[in-house]
Amino acid sequence: MLEALRQKVWEANVALPKNGLVLWTSGNASARDPETNLVVIKPSGVLFDQLTPEKLVIVDVEGNVVEGDLKPSVDTASHLYVYRHRSDVHGVVHTHSPYATSFAIRGESLPIYTTTSAAVFGTEIPVSDFATIGEEEIGKEIVEKIGKCTAILMRNHGTFTIGKDVMAALKDAVILEETAQYVHYAMLRGPIDPLPEEVVRRGYEVYHTTYGQK
């Protein structure tokens, strides 16, 4: 069932440690099939180097297991809450990437300091209030706080990114961590100023209308 989507979700999950976004078994990626509304997600507690497409779990948007022998991620309820409340979202990625998470621990949002973050996000990356792991609270915080951004810092926890598909969410997770790393090092040398609003607006517009092979 959903073999092509399983493959994409597997590729996104195994890319997380390769890009330095997670360690051990933490973090996960999921995708929603637009035709069936079913969700493919990483199983709980499985090492990334032991993960295969067949080990991924398929659930409906209410959390019922449709196919799979393993338990789905403990973050499943949060992923599903996002899918139920954001019809435009078909991919969700959760990481504990170190630089971005350091901002989350401090309860600090991440303003737009670089042209890359301006182009990709177009707005300050927000930070949530603290939410308990394992239920819908994280999903509620994402939906309430993320706004038009595709990334959010989860207070004292990590990051979530959303996208039109799982690879879009993965890309934004990588860029979020890259941005946080640049900002961290820049701040070591003194105060820094975010980009002007007009520069951010223009960068976002150009990126989303002309970048890549349209």
pLDDT score, position 134: 87
Tell which residue, 67, 79, 95, 77, has the closest CA to residue 32.
79
More confident residue, 109 or 214: 109
Residue 24 tokens read as 């051990």
Tell which residue, 62, 75, 84, 96, has the closest CA to residue 30.
75
User: What does the pLDDT average to over 39-46?
Assistant: 99
Sequence-separated (6 or more) residues with CB below 8 Å from residue 184? 99, 102
- Rounded CA-CA distance 171/155 in Å is 21
Residue pair 66/148 in contact (Cβ under 8 Å)? The answer is no
Mean pLDDT of the chain: 98
User: What does the pLDDT average to over 176-183?
Assistant: 98
Q: What is the pLDDT of residues 183-206, one digit of tens each?
A: 999 999 999 999 999 999 999 999
Query: Residue 62, by phi and psi: left (phi above 0), alpha (psi -120 to 50) or beta?
Result: alpha
Rounded percentage of the chain residues whose pLDDT exceeds 70: 100
Q: Is the pLDDT of residue 68 over 90?
A: yes
What global pTM score does this model have? 0.97
Confidence at 214, pLDDT banded by 50, 70, 90 = low
Q: What is the pLDDT of residues 98-133, one digit of tens each?
A: 999 999 999 999 999 999 999 999 999 999 999 999
Question: Where exactly are the structural domains of the chain?
Answer: 3-210
User: What does the pLDDT average to over 22-47?
Assistant: 98
Write the class of the CATH domain 3-210: alpha beta
The type of residue at 198 is E
Confidence at 95, pLDDT banded by 50, 70, 90 = very high
Rounded percentage of the chain residues whose pLDDT exceeds 90: 98
Q: What is the pLDDT of residues 134-172, one digit of tens each?
A: 889 999 999 999 999 999 999 999 999 999 999 999 999
User: What does the pLDDT average to over 21-30?
Assistant: 98
- Rounded CA-CA distance 148/170 in Å is 17
Tell which residue, 13, 47, 15, has the closest CA to residue 29.
13
Distances (CA, A) of 176 to 88, 161, 198, 208: 20, 9, 21, 17
